[in-house]
Structure 1
Amino acid sequence: MIIFKTKRLILKTWKEQDLDSMSAINQDPLVCEFLPKIGNRAATKTLIRRFMNHYKKYGFTAYAVELKSNGEFIGFVGLLVTSFEAHFTPAVEIAWRLDSKCLGKGYATEAAKAIIAFSFTTLKLEEVVSFTVENNIRSRRVMEKIGMHHNPHDDFDHPKLPKNSPLCRHVLYRLSRRE
């Protein structure tokens, strides 16, 4: 089912056919450079099931994304209730993961802007957050392009990662409905 359309993208609910494409994306070292581990097909199936259950529970999720021009699956973008405790939780986060061949084309920004509008106008959220590893410049750029703000005092060690992991330290970006 189509949830959103943007100029170049379709954001939709997940279908079984998305598994192989998402699994390939989750095994791409460039895409997963700032993730704790590269996901195999079974892990991807679990992730998609989590997204589907999240949709049933909350009415929003990380949506499958296709190119409008040819229907090609390119990844996900959407909203998730943060699944751990931190100084900023409970919170709703915006997250994305797109095929490496889509990097630098503005797709993440385009989809994220639609999700942000939905979060404030339809869901009436007060705030949306996003976070990533400190040196994930690509994701940080998207966060800034969609209007999010970074305060270094909000940075945190991700509680689901070992303290000695180079991926442990995260930057937090925020955007409130008032902005």
Structure 2
Amino acid sequence: MFSVSLVAHMLREKGVLEFVAAARRIKANYPEVRFVLVGGLHPNPGSIQKEEIESWVREGVVEWAGQVADVRPWLAQTSVFVLPSYREGVPRSTQEAMAMARPVITTDAPGCRETVMDGVNGFLIPPRDVDALVAAMERFIANPNLIRSMGTESRRLAEERFDVRVVNQRLMQILGITS
């Protein structure tokens, strides 16, 4: 079964509303696709209220796991990871998805764009662009082989760019600490 997950605090700036809008549109044509929100509520004024999330669940648009201690089981059962955030540092959630060999759809915003090579391990979309998010999701639905090939590239890039041993070794070389 094809599934799409977003792992983040339930904040508007994480692109949760765009994720839900895209899910609603995809489900109109592909009702079997699962959309899963993983993450807890936040005291931030931009937080999405529990009642709103529960209404999406009742509508059948998304499933909501809430706050979880370990995202790995959730990522293991997702086909494609999505983070339509408006802005980030380099997001840990995309790195975790990449480490688990999942293709990523994220925004072409600073931080987010550092994790995806567009067309290689996923797709970059403009922030706040539901049409582009739907189109990227539909590319995976229409071409399921991309899930595996881009997922493999995600894992390779995660090892290359974000493995702490590799990063520390590069830093030590830059600082002249090792030969």
Q: Same-fold call, TM > 0.5?
A: no
Shorter chain as denominator, the TM-score bin is 0.3 to 0.5
Q: Relative contact order (alpha carbons < 8 A, sep ≥ 6): 1 or 2 greater? A: 2
Larger Rg: 2
| TM-score of the two chains, using structure 1 as the length reference | 0.32
Q: Which has the higher helix share?
A: 2
